[in-house]
Chain A
Amino acid sequence: MRPSGLRRPNDPPLLILVSLADGPKHGHALAKDIEHFAGVKLGPGALYGAITRLVERGLIEPTGGDDRRRPYRITPPGSAALAEALADMRRVTNAGLARLGLDLA
């Protein structure tokens, strides 16, 4: 496993990083956004388990705001880890599509 812990496209940590890439969000907004762009419904347990790990690894951090709905934002190491993971996935996707003879456009 890579140091960032990002493995699969439907990994909760990866989905959270993608969601936070366009700005800070709190738990419920994250869950809704992930469901919207990835079609993956993360339960509260899975979502906060992933948030806990990402905070521990320094890939995301809480911002100020209401205590009960604390927003999180992606950190520079988080952005770098996300970019690396997405580049890896793009390589695999491109290779798979090319071997299937499918149009990349």
Chain B
Amino acid sequence: MKRADPRVERLLRWYPRAWRERYGEEFLALIQDTLNGRRPTCQLRLSVAGAGLRERWHRTVRTAKAAAERASASSWLISAAIGGVVTLVPPSLKASLPMARAWQGTAALDALLAVASFTCAAVLAGILVVVPAFVRFLQAGGWPKIRRRIARAAGATVVAGAGLAGPLLAQRSMTSAQLSRSVGYWVGFLAASAALVVALGLWVSAVTGLRKDLKLAPRVRAAEVVLDAVIAAAAWASVAAFFVWYHTVQLSVPWLLVWMVVLASTGATGSKSVRRAVRRSRRILAAAGRGR
């Protein structure tokens, strides 16, 4: 098959991948026929860019609508399932169950530790792959660019840590009954939690900003795309695994079932997003191969 002029082929980048795969070749043929050997004019470029962005918008809206329909259907099902479990499981079932046998608690804890370790390993890998680029960034005098963001996040972390110290000290010196009656303790606890969330948000913002400044090689970018998806999926799975373990130990059967369903659904959605990330990383590598 005859290759299109690279200048013309570049115009296709305005369109979403699925569209390019379906219509790309014939669209390029049309542009080539229209141009008849001439260079793409500015008007043509603008018109194609506009049409490509409209196509992206159209697909985004369509995907969002489909996702909303799926989400509303699945959330209805999940709500019905949760409601059914909570209301229909008779209290006698819970009462009749023996205390959690050691192996159940141990298995749930092992699963939690495995998922948490995997998450930590993925985070560590995500950090390690960008270290060389980060070092190059610092050597090129990049520190002033990120100094303010890092200082803000570090400051917020210190404030949140100091704020948490109060409730933690109170926990040591007061009984559970005193704590539950203490308005000051709960206000401090909520304020410290909010500060912690703000600090985390600032760190995320600092890292996101830093990523934009880093010049990552295509291989690293491709790896980062996959690791991002793996970390997100593993983090959600860790949260679900924590609650599965907690409710296993507490022997609260309805909630245990609910969290097992959540764990299974996070596994399914996580693997889907990882597969999508793998496809995206392949595109990054393929684009880098074409650019060479």
**Who on chain B is nearest to A27 by CB?**
B30
Contact flag A52-B30 (CB < 8 Å), given A43-B44, A43-B48, A45-B52: no
* Interface segment out of the listed B21-29, B154-162, B219-227: B21-29
Residues of chain B with a CB closer than 8 A to A52's CB = 19, 23, 55
* B-facing residues in A23-44 (Cβ within 8 Å): 26-28, 31, 43-44
**Who on chain A is nearest to B23 by CB?**
A48
When each residue 154-192 of chain B gets 1 if its CB lies under 8 Å from chain A and 0 otherwise, what string results? 000000000000000000000000000000000000000
Q: Which of A26, A46, A70 is close to B51, meaning CB atoms less than 8 Å apart? A: A46
Residues of chain B with a CB closer than 8 A to A45's CB = 47-52
Q: Which of A27, A44, A48 is close to B44, meaning CB atoms less than 8 Å apart? A: A44
Residues of chain A with a CB closer than 8 A to B23's CB = 48, 51-52
Smallest beta-carbon distance A63→chain B, Å:
12
Interface: B31 (CB within 8 A): yes
Interface: A86 (CB within 8 A): no
A27, B29: Cβ atoms closer than 8 Å: yes
Interface: B148 (CB within 8 A): no
B48, A27: Cβ atoms closer than 8 Å: no
B55, A49: Cβ atoms closer than 8 Å: yes
Residues of chain A with a CB closer than 8 A to B51's CB = 43-46, 48-49
- Give the bracket for the number of chain B residues in contact with chain A: 20 to 34
Contact flag A48-B29 (CB < 8 Å), given A31-B34, A43-B48: no
B25, A67: Cβ atoms closer than 8 Å: yes
Interface: A68 (CB within 8 A): yes
Q: Which of A26, A44, A67 is close to B31, meaning CB atoms less than 8 Å apart? A: A44
Residues of chain B with a CB closer than 8 A to A31's CB = 30, 34
* B-facing residues in A5-37 (Cβ within 8 Å): 26-28, 31
Residues of chain A with a CB closer than 8 A to B97's CB = none
Interface: B1 (CB within 8 A): yes
When each residue 50-93 of chain B gets 1 if its CB lies under 8 Å from chain A and 0 otherwise, what string results? 11101100000000000000000000000000000000000000
Give Cα A56–Cα B76 distance, bound, in whole angstroms. 29
**Who on chain A is nearest to B49 by CB?**
A45
Q: List 28 A-B contacts (CB under 8 A).
A: A26-B29, A26-B30, A27-B27, A27-B29, A27-B30, A28-B29, A31-B34, A43-B34, A43-B44, A43-B47, A43-B51, A44-B47, A44-B51, A45-B48, A45-B49, A45-B50, A45-B51, A49-B51, A49-B54, A51-B23, A52-B19, A52-B23, A67-B1, A68-B2, A68-B25, A68-B28, A69-B26, A69-B29
Chain B interface (Cβ within 8 Å of chain A)?
1-2, 19, 23, 25-31, 33-34, 43-44, 47-52, 54-55
